[in-house]
């Protein structure tokens, strides 16, 4: 048994991009606070934040069609796209601040410029894309977006996708030059290196198994050292549960009222990867298509150029699937053990409502490699099986909760920050838009858990994020300034990319 007097100001559970971001904020705002991190794996950024476990899209709503909805009167609602783009600008400003101040180096290790494109086929879809382009390109946030339904132009933009395409169906695409590919695994590792240099106590191979409130108003965590087998007790004033898919079971252990009536539905993912340089060289973009009818929003197919370890590859997917694990390294009992008396009705209602989704996921799991290749050939008609391998991506645990609009057991596709009423514990659930908006989401954690400090912190936050508290869309000059300054700081303005 460990010592019960291990006391610290802040404990961050999990060494993914979310804890990395929150820890970095806290070290900038209150360097004197002591922070301890517990991570059950032996390195940071090994679960969803790892570069091979997510698609690395810097989600700025430049290409994801599910962020713009056609209203019954035929007009387009782009409010969600605006929100996500502004959230991504917040991330870009924070990362630029870190680079400019030498807190992290070599931005090309984690962010690369890459055009973001949307591509559709069929008359109805082409007319939707054109309407979307007309609505978005007027907005300063999406300035410079191009549209084309001319096959010759498309062959210039996406030669691999257009080669030997035998269809008379209309086809169209939009293109935004200033999109990004983000290696969230590398970014997480850079941030943890920085935190370690700032004397943050990072304990790998330490799994948090339980937590409770103590009579002195602190949180006491029961932590297992996975190497020695010892159980330690650690106390803190503030706990952040950044366990990715593992956050829900930990939140349930807090027993705070806000943790009740919430469930989680795990969705696994698979990508196909191509490392054949001849094929890889023929594509340079992230190209998002439209989700198939009945498919959930996280399975929108896309073909992406990726930059990982100084090497280019192509990624196609994701193919969704079902596994009862909440983490890639989790247990087959995760789902069943998350069912509690307080959420059983919520979970059962979701089970009944989401039969079609469950059926879809099971069908996806059963696809053979050749069937997956057929889906890929809708993007690359000339794709050869021998050039493509399957890789297992991370787990996403979608939140299930009771909502006014959806009723009992409604499946959510976004990110949810849950905090206790006294702000002493916060948890992050859900996975979309995910890592791209980590900075915005962690600012939300700060403002909900430390409202008494926000006035005093605002000046420093504004230094890091000049647009903090503003809607950038309404300040086109500031937007322009921020864009240019982030592009320069992050090396996104360099046309020549140095790759081995
Ligand atoms: C298939 C897929 C594609 C995606 N694509 C994108 C994309 O293109 N762009 C984007 O922005 N986002 C994307 N995301 C989402 C993004 O990856 C996640 O939102 C983000 O990585 C979550 O970070 P995190 O820090 O919350 O969790 P994680 O990175 O999963 O980290 C959680 C950490 O907590 C640890 N942990 C868990 N439980 C415990 C415990 N009890 N004790 C100690 N440690 C614990 C885990 O080991 C893990 O290291 C994608 C996700 C998936 C699965």
Domains of the chain: 5-487 (3.50.50.60)
Residue nearest to atom 44 of ligand 1 (CA): 39
The predicted pLDDT at position 5 comes to 66
Per-residue pLDDT, averaged over 45-72, amounts to 95
pLDDT at 187 over 90: yes
Per-residue pLDDT band for 413 (boundaries 50, 70, 90) equals confident
Check pocket membership of 304 for ligand 1, CB cut-off 6 A.
Answer: no
Confidence tier at 256 by pLDDT (50, 70, 90): very high
The closest alpha carbon to 345, from 299, 417, 251, 409, belongs to 409
| Nearest residue by C-alpha to atom 15 in ligand 1 | 434
Distance 243 CA to ligand 1 centre (A): 7
Measured from the Cα of 46, ligand 1's closest atom is 49
Q: Cα of 382 to ligand 1 centre, how many Å?
A: 34
pLDDT value for 229? 97
The torsion angle over the Cα atoms of residues 52, 53, 56 and 59, rounded to 10 degrees, is 170
Query: Would the CB of 57 count as within 6 Å of ligand 1?
Result: yes
Q: Does pLDDT of 500 surpass 60?
A: no
Q: 167 CA to middle of ligand 1, Å?
A: 39
Write the residue with the smallest CA distance to atom 33 of ligand 1: 14
- How remote is the CA of residue 70 from the centroid of ligand 1, in Å? 31
Determine the distance separating the centroid of ligand 1 and the alpha carbon of 309, expressed in angstroms. 20
Burial class, 107, CB count within 10 angstroms (exposed 0-12 / middle 13-18 / buried 19+): buried
Average pLDDT over residues 62-74: 92
In Å, what is the CA distance from 132 to each residue of 74, 80, 138, 306? 11, 13, 10, 26
395 CA closest ligand 1 atom index:
53
Model confidence band, residue 3 (pLDDT cutoffs 50, 70, 90): low
Q: Could you tell me which of 301, 312, 308, 307 has the C-alpha nearest to residue 271?
A: 301
What is the reported pLDDT for 357?
A: 81
Q: Does the CB atom of residue 430 touch ligand 1 within 6 A?
A: no
Measured between alpha carbons, how far is 94 from 91 in angstroms, rounded to an integer? Answer: 5
- pLDDT given at position 255: 96
pLDDT(493) > 90: no
Rounded to the nearest whole angstrom, what is the distance from the C-alpha of residue 435 to the centroid of ligand 1? 8
Per-residue pLDDT band for 431 (boundaries 50, 70, 90) equals: confident
Which of ligand 1's atoms lies nearest the C-alpha of 267? 53
Across 373-377, average pLDDT: 95
- pLDDT-based confidence at residue 495 (cuts at 50, 70, 90): low
Q: Is 298 in the pocket of ligand 1 (CB under 6 A)?
A: no
**What pLDDT does 1 receive?**
43
| Mean pLDDT along residues 402-421 | 90
The mean predicted confidence, pLDDT, of the chain is 93
Say whether 448 sits in a helix, a strand or coil: helix
């Amino acid at each position: 048994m460990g010592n019960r007097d291990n006391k610290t100001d802040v404990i961050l559970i999990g060494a993914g991009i979310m804890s990395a971001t929150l820890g970095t904020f806290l070290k900038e705002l209150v360097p004197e606070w002591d922070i301890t991190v517990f991570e059950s794996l032996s390195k940071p950024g090994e679960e969803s934040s790892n570069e091979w476990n997510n698609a690395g899209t810097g989600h700025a709503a430049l290409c994801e069609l599910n962020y713009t909805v056609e209203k019954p009167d035929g007009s387009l609602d782009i409010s969600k796209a605006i929100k996500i783009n502004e959230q991504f600008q917040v991330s870009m400003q924070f990362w630029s601040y870190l680079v400019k101040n030498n807190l992290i180096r070599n931005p090309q290790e984690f962010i690369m410029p890459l055009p973001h494109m949307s591509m559709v086929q069929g008359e109805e879809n082409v007319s939707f894309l054109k309407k979307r382009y007309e609505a978005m390109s007027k907005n300063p946030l999406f300035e410079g977006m191009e549209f084309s339904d001319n096959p010759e132009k498309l062959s210039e933009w996406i030669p691999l996708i257009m080669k030997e395409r035998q269809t008379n169906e209309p086809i169209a695409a939009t293109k935004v030059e200033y999109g990004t590919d983000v290696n969230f695994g590398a970014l997480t590792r850079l941030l943890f290196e920085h935190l370690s240099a700032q004397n943050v106590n990072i304990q790998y191979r330490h799994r948090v198994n339980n937590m409770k409130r103590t009579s002195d108003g602190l949180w006491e965590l029961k932590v297992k050292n996975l190497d020695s087998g010892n159980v330690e007790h650690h106390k803190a004033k503030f706990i952040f549960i950044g366990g990715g898919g593992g956050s829900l079971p930990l939140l349930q252990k807090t027993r705070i009222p806000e943790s009740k009536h919430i469930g989680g539905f795990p969705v696994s993912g698979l990508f196909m990867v191509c490392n054949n340089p001849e094929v890889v060289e023929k594509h340079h973009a992230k190209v998002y298509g439209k989700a198939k009818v009945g498919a959930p929003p996280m399975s929108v197919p896309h073909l992406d150029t990726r930059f990982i370890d100084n090497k280019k590859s192509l990624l196609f997917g994701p193919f969704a699937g079902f596994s009862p694990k909440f983490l890639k390294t989790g247990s087959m009992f995760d789902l069943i053990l998350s069912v509690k008396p307080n959420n059983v009705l919520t979970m059962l209602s979701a089970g009944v409502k989401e039969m079609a989704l469950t059926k879809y996921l099971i069908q996806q799991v059963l696809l053979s490699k050749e069937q997956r290749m057929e889906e890929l050939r809708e993007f690359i008609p000339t794709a050869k099986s021998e050039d493509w391998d399957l890789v297992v991506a991370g787990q996403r645990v979608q939140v299930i909760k009771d909502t006014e609009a959806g009723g009992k057991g409604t499946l959510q596709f976004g990110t949810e920050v849950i905090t206790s009423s006294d702000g002493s514990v916060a948890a992050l659930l859900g996975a979309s838009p995910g890592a791209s908006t980590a900075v915005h989401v962690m600012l939300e954690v700060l403002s909900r858990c430390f409202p008494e400090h926000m006035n005093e912190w605002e000046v420093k936050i504004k230094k890091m994020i000049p647009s903090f508290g503003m809607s950038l869309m309404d300040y086109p000059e500031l937007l322009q300034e921020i864009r240019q300054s982030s592009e320069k700081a992050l090396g996104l303005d360099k046309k020549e990319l140095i790759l081995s």
